[in-house]
Structure 1
């Protein structure tokens, strides 16, 4: 990858990282990574500014054979296992849901075309009230896993 394409991807990620709004939700800081192989993941912060508790119950994308809500479980002895969270993730009224590396996230398995640095991808979050939220994270494979794990988001 050339220096120019790396800079272009970084600049695009900054300018295209516009928060997504739907219902009383705001999605910000959405980005995706790809292993270079058949798997990838997406991360973001979802704010519920409404008066109703919500739950994200599913996620969809045409980019992979399977797209699921995942988290990591500590099995002890330094072993972490990634698991599909079939019941989804709570999104309390006035609260937020942080999808981050090493924790809750969107998982892509069986990616068709490899993610390209700076590419805007599309995923659909499905809420328990039937509403669907389209989110467009930017692929940023160079991003370091910082931020949310070290920031205080009130949780």
Structure 2
């Protein structure tokens, strides 16, 4: 009877240790993409660029964060320009900023007349119907690649 109890205890301990190791391997401090409370869950929608009429353009989109942790949009890159910045609009004045907050369970709206992406010194003039590739960079999340459909110069979804 002592041997059977020892085997059962050893077997139970081995199963418990294996389960504990498996759970530890699945948890890496909340920096994974599992959607836990410590993870931003970002999704981009409503992206567009009005057809530029000069050598600069604006970009607009919404970033929704369904995760339990806030993040920040820190920069935007694009093959169409080596000078892409993010701007806030306050009191009808544009000003470059280092980042935009994306709250947990919230969203960041980049829209006409408000905060936006600014493309300076365009390498080419995209036309309505084309797409412009960009990559959004964040403080915590992996970069997200987005294609901005080029719309009419006066396109404004808020007016539709």
- Give TM-score scaled by structure 1 length: 0.71
What secondary structure is seen at the aligned counterpart in 2 of 1:63? coil
Give the conservation status (yes or no) of the 8 Å contact 2:50–2:155: no
Q: Which has the higher contact order (CA 8 A, sep 6+)?
A: 1
Residue 48 in 1 paired to residue 59 in 2?
no
Residue 81 in 1 paired to residue 93 in 2?
yes
Query: Could you tell me which residue of structure 2 aligns to residue 28 of structure 1?
Result: 45
2:148 and 2:130 mapped to 1: Cα distance?
8
Structure of greater Rg: 2
Deviation at 1:62, TM superposition (A): 1.4
Taking a change above 3 Å as real, the CA distance of residues 44 and 121 of structure 1, as seen in their structure-2 partners, is same
Give the conservation status (yes or no) of the 8 Å contact 1:36–1:115: no
RMSD: 1.9
Q: Which has the higher helix share?
A: 2
Query: Could you tell me which residue of structure 2 aligns to residue 112 of structure 1?
Result: 123
Structure 1, unaligned runs of 5 or more? 1-22, 75-79, 151-155
Structure 2, unaligned runs of 5 or more? 1-39
Q: 1:93 aligns with which of 104, 111, 116?
A: 104
Deviation at 1:85, TM superposition (A): 0.7
Residues 83-104 of structure 1: per-residue CA shift (max 9 Å, x gap): 1112x10001110111001111
1:34 and 1:144 mapped to 2: Cα distance?
9
Aligned length: 121
Residues 3-24 of structure 1: per-residue CA shift (max 9 Å, x gap): xxxxxxxxxxxxxxxxxxxx72
Deviation at 1:73, TM superposition (A): 2.4
Query: Which deviates the most, 128-137 or 117-126?
Result: 128-137
1:112 and 1:118 mapped to 2: Cα distance?
18
